[in-house]
Amino acid sequence: MAKEKDDNYWRERLTPEEFHVCREGGTERPFTGEYWDTFEDGKYLCRCCGKRLFNAESKFDAGCGWPSFDAEAEQGAVAERVDNSLGMQRTEIVCANCGCHLGHVFPDGPTETGLRYCVNSLSVKLDPDEKAE
């Protein structure tokens, strides 16, 4: 993971909402994020560091109100952490490069991977000009 930046660094670069989700592990409300129902071509990049995390080809409608993907763009783009908050055990996903909180991954995806990466729109940026390689 890239060298950790302090909160002041991120507060200068992110909106208050982005900071809450990306750096404090917050969650945006379902069906409110910019990308929950977007299906354009391109790459989804980390909002904080710009690393490619997901390709549009792996995005699907999970009906949950958050952007959902069945695979990361390349192995190791996303790191996992145990999340025991809210009385549940879940798997948190973060950008492997900068530690930006992305959301959670669940083993209930409808494709052959069996995974559903459930991601906050505030944690990513769609680059529609770049097709996945």
Find the catalytic residue in 22, 48, 100, 118.
118
Alpha carbons 103 and 42: distance in angstroms, whole number: 20
- Is 100 part of the annotated catalytic residue set? no
Cβ-defined contacts of 22-28 (< 8 Å, 24+): 22/47, 22/48, 22/100, 22/101, 22/122, 22/123, 23/48, 23/100, 23/101, 24/101, 25/92, 25/101, 26/101, 26/120, 27/103, 27/120, 28/66, 28/120, 28/121, 28/122
Would the annotation count 46 as a binding residue? yes
Consult the annotation and say whether 95 binds a ligand: yes
Owner of token pair 């909106």: 15
48 marked as part of a ligand binding site: no
98 assigned ligand-binding residue: yes
Binding site: what residues are annotated? 46, 49, 95, 98
Q: Which residues are catalytic?
A: 118
Binding site for Zn(2+): what residues are annotated? 46, 49, 95, 98
